[in-house]
Amino acid sequence: QYLDAIAEKNGGLNAYTLVTAQTALEAAKKVDEKLARGEALGPVEGVPMTLKANISTKGLETDCCSKILEGYKPVYDAAVWQTLREQGAVLLGKCNMDEFAMGSSCETSCHGGAKNPHDLSRVAGGSSGGAASAVAGGLAAYGIGSDTGGSIRQPASFCGIVGLKPTYGAVSRYGLIAYASSFDQIGPLTSCVEDAALLFDVLAQKDPRDSTCVGARCKAVPNLQNSLKGKKIGIAAEYFDGLREGVQTALEQAQSVYRSLGAELVPISIPEIKYALPVYYILACAEASSNLGRYDGIRYGRKAEHYTGVNDMIEKTRSAGFGKEVKRRILLGTYVLSAGYYDAYYKKAQLLRRKIRRAFQTAFTACDFLLAPTVPMTAFPEGFSGQDAVETYQTDICTVPVNIVGLPALSVPCGCDESGMPVGMQLIGKAGREDMILNAAYQYE
């Protein structure tokens, strides 16, 4: 059924960049046989799903939607895919994304952007736009994406689905092609909260192959039914600045739903949020410039055909292989790390990172979790992101703070704007407390 949906709709949505029909059918057949024998199935067994193109799959092209990794087939599976594969998940294919996960519209992909199933003239969001488009369009039961500064939550919000970014260190990054290692985290994009909770419980496991991975500190599924009576929900004024009208209205309605569920809304302030965007773009670019140094035409993917020496080869490979946005970030990152500028930019941003972390810790002394918009607007029209990089960066204002401090957050649909496009609300939890935000999202849903 899903393969039929892909055949019918992927031409318009551009959600998948690679479809693995044959192996999907084989994997499904095994599950069928098991069912015929009357054996019970595990939670993800036989469920057709998709992976973002930056999650390594052994022997299967994993190109990060970059020309530089064209044809690259990893020799090992990412931890998350290993877990899912071993538990009988059925992989339908790899999904479109912004090149190396750098972008907010999926349009920096070398394969062209993924479209929004609610309106094909709008983007699916980014960077995990393909996975969001696939799930919202009925082309997969769920997708696995990565979130460095909002790449799961923002496309989930734009496409009207659920997207969870777990606490930094909850899910193994082993085999996730790195963008900014101290921010990157893998998580699910699903059509309902229960699926997100179920996948969190499956995926959040300690992994010695990722030294920052400690696994889950809570169980999500058994806590979905908890009552919200007496729970304190922080409303930080800074998140509500400059929202589009439709988003503002939907968020106000969500707050009254929580009031009627017995929760208390607590107005708070986190002024440090104003530092979040510059801190994110300085640190993420710095880490990216280092992580992307490995694409030299020798170890992975594509190599320039004509060159005169090794330096010329590297230069030609990187010039032709990376797209404009990736080059911009490598340049920015190299600049903020260079002697003479390091103290003014990189070091200062690191100090501010600590300050923002402390501000969130203080905020959580007054409440159990925060409610905020996921994005100040609904899905952009196609081409918006290509116009002005800084303007596009600014739309990440509500999603980047939690990546800076490592907290869990999820986006849940909470209505539509005046043009019928979905609006997402964001629930932000204490470190290790995915159960609380999933519970709150489930009660809302």
Give catalytic residues, as residue numbers.
52, 127, 151
Q: Provide the minimum distance between the beta carbon of 276 and ligand GLN in the complex, in angstroms, as a whole number.
A: 12
d(CA 49, CA 214): 25
Residue ranges that bind ligand GLN, judged by CB under 6 A? 101-104, 127, 147-151, 179, 284, 396
The smaller minimum CB distance to ligand GLN, of residues 162 and 218, is found at: 162
The smaller minimum CB distance to ligand GLN, of residues 103 and 323, is found at: 103
Q: Provide the minimum distance between the beta carbon of 196 and ligand GLN in the complex, in angstroms, as a whole number.
A: 17
The smaller minimum CB distance to ligand GLN, of residues 102 and 224, is found at: 102
The smaller minimum CB distance to ligand GLN, of residues 72 and 179, is found at: 179
Q: Provide the minimum distance between the beta carbon of 179 and ligand GLN in the complex, in angstroms, as a whole number.
A: 6
165, 182, 301 from 204: Cα distances, Å: 11, 17, 30
Buried b (16+ CB within 10 A) or exposed e, 134-144: bbbbebbbbbb
Q: Report CA torsion sign: 198, 186, 123, 384.
A: positive
Q: Provide the minimum distance between the beta carbon of 148 and ligand GLN in the complex, in angstroms, as a whole number.
A: 3
Q: Provide the minimum distance between the beta carbon of 443 and ligand GLN in the complex, in angstroms, as a whole number.
A: 27
The smaller minimum CB distance to ligand GLN, of residues 101 and 352, is found at: 101
Question: What does the DSSP assignment read for 8-46?
Answer: HHHHHH--EEEE-HHHHHHHHHHHHHHHHTT----TTTT
d(CA 131, CA 127): 9
Q: Provide the minimum distance between the beta carbon of 183 and ligand GLN in the complex, in angstroms, as a whole number.
A: 7
Q: Which residues contact 271 (CB under 8 A, 6 or more apart)?
A: 238, 359
The smaller minimum CB distance to ligand GLN, of residues 46 and 103, is found at: 103
d(CA 145, CA 55): 8
What are the structure tokens assigned to 280, written together?
């994110």
Residue 162 in contact with residue 413, Cβ under 8 Å? yes
Q: Provide the minimum distance between the beta carbon of 143 and ligand GLN in the complex, in angstroms, as a whole number.
A: 14
A 10 A CB-CB count for 226 gives: 15
Q: Which residue is nearest to ligand GLN, using beta carbons? A: 151
Residue 378 in contact with residue 423, Cβ under 8 Å? yes
Question: What does the DSSP assignment read for 267-293?
Answer: EE--GGGGGHHHHHHHHHHHHHHHHGG
Closest to 54 in 3D by CA, of 117, 130, 112? 130
HSE at residue 137, side-chain half, CA atoms within 13 A, is 33
The smaller minimum CB distance to ligand GLN, of residues 232 and 328, is found at: 328
